[in-house]
Amino acid sequence: MIREPVNAASVPAEEGRTIYPPPFAAQVAGRIKRKLGDYFGLANFGVNLTRLAPGSVSALLHHHAKQDEFIYVLEGTPTLVLDDTDYLLQPGDCFGLPAGSGVASQVVNRSEAPVLILEIGDRTPDDEVVYPEDDLHAVQEADGSWRLTHKDGRPY
C-alpha cells in the first residue's frame, strides 16, 4: 500500500518500546522513535525520527556485522560515542558507520534539552550485533526479528 505524504511528527511514536531485556531497557528510557520507514512499508532500509530526552541514549554501545548506519542531527547537541572517543554534534552534523567496521557507536543526550535525530540503516538479513560493554549479543532471525542472548549464549 502506498501512503500519502505526512508530517513526520504525525507518525505514531514508540515511547519506551525496546527489544532490550532488563536491565538494559532502562538505558533507553526517554527515547521516542517514530519508525518512518516501517510506516511507509520500506523493506530495504529503515528510517527513524528519534527524540532523546536529557540523559537518554539512542541504543546501547554497539556495532553491526552486516548493516550500515547513518545519523543526522536535526535539533539539539547530542554526543556521538565511537568506542572510547566522544564527539559533540550540532544540528546539521551527520555520521555514517559502515557494517563490519568493529567500531561501536551510540548517541547520548548529555545536554539539558531534547535532541532530535534521523537514524537510517539498511536491513541486510542475518545481521549480528556486538555490545562490547554489556552482557548482550543479538542475532537477526530469518523473519527479521532479533534473538537476544547473554554473551555466553544463554537466552534472556
- Using H for helix, E for strand and C for coil, what is the string for the chain? CCCCCCCHHHCCCEECCCCCCCCHHHHHCCEEEEEHHHHCCCCCEEEEEEEECCCCECCCCEEECCCCEEEEEEECCCEEEECCEEEECCCCCEEEECCCCCCCEEEECCCCCCEEEEEEEECCCCCEEECCCCCCEEEECCCCCEEEECCCCCEC
Quick: pLDDT tens for 75-122: 999 999 999 999 999 999 999 999 999 999 999 999 999 999 999 999
Confidence of residue 144 (pLDDT cuts 50, 70, 90): confident
Q: What is the pLDDT of residues 36-62, one digit of tens each?
A: 999 999 999 999 999 999 999 999 999
* Domains in the chain: boundaries: 8-125
Name the CATH topology of 8-125: Jelly Rolls (2.60.120)
